[in-house]
């Protein structure tokens, strides 16, 4: 699990360094954020936490999902795009992160 957390941190660092200018940049940022948030939900679900902490973290994850959805809508409006939906599944996040990092290291 520490490897997954480190990879999530690396992905989030990439979002921070992006200079968003195109719809592809936005898609990339949204993809990374959705992937990271989905993985964080998995980590929270698999970690031994008290119920209050778990509930709080999952509520924050839900808020992040809402912010991502709002950003997607605003970006679609600004760039005249009709579909910026990416939808990252909650399962397989470790594999998806590895593939993402491998592609970017080429």
What angle do the packed helices 2-17 and 23-46 form, to 10 degrees?
160
Domain that holds residue 10: 2-105
Q: Which residue has the higher pLDDT, 78 or 45?
A: 45
If 0-12 CB within 10 Å is exposed, 13-18 middle and 19+ buried, where does residue 36 land? Answer: buried
Confidence of residue 95 (pLDDT cuts 50, 70, 90): low
For residue 101, pLDDT beyond 60: no
Instruction: Give the pLDDT of residue 80.
Output: 74
CB 80 within 8 A of CB 49: no
Per-residue pLDDT at 106 exceeds 70: no
Number of domains present in the structure of the chain: 1
Write out pLDDT tens, residues 9-66.
888 888 888 888 887 888 888 888 988 898 888 888 888 889 999 999 999 999 998 9
Distances in Å between the alpha carbon of 28 and those of 1, 17, 21, 24, 49? 24, 12, 11, 6, 32
């Amino acid at each position: 699990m520490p490897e997954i957390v480190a990879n999530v941190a690396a992905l989030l660092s990439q979002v921070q360094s992006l200079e968003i200018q195109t719809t592809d940049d936005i898609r990339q940022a949204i993809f990374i954020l959705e992937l990271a948030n989905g993985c964080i939900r998995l980590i929270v679900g698999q970690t031994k936490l008290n119920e209050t902490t778990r509930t709080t973290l999952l509520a924050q994850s839900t808020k992040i999902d809402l912010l991502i959805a709002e950003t997607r809508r605003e970006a679609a409006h600004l760039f005249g795009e009709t579909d910026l939906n990416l939808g990252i599944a909650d399962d397989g996040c470790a594999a998806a992160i590895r593939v993402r990092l491998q592609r970017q290291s080429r």
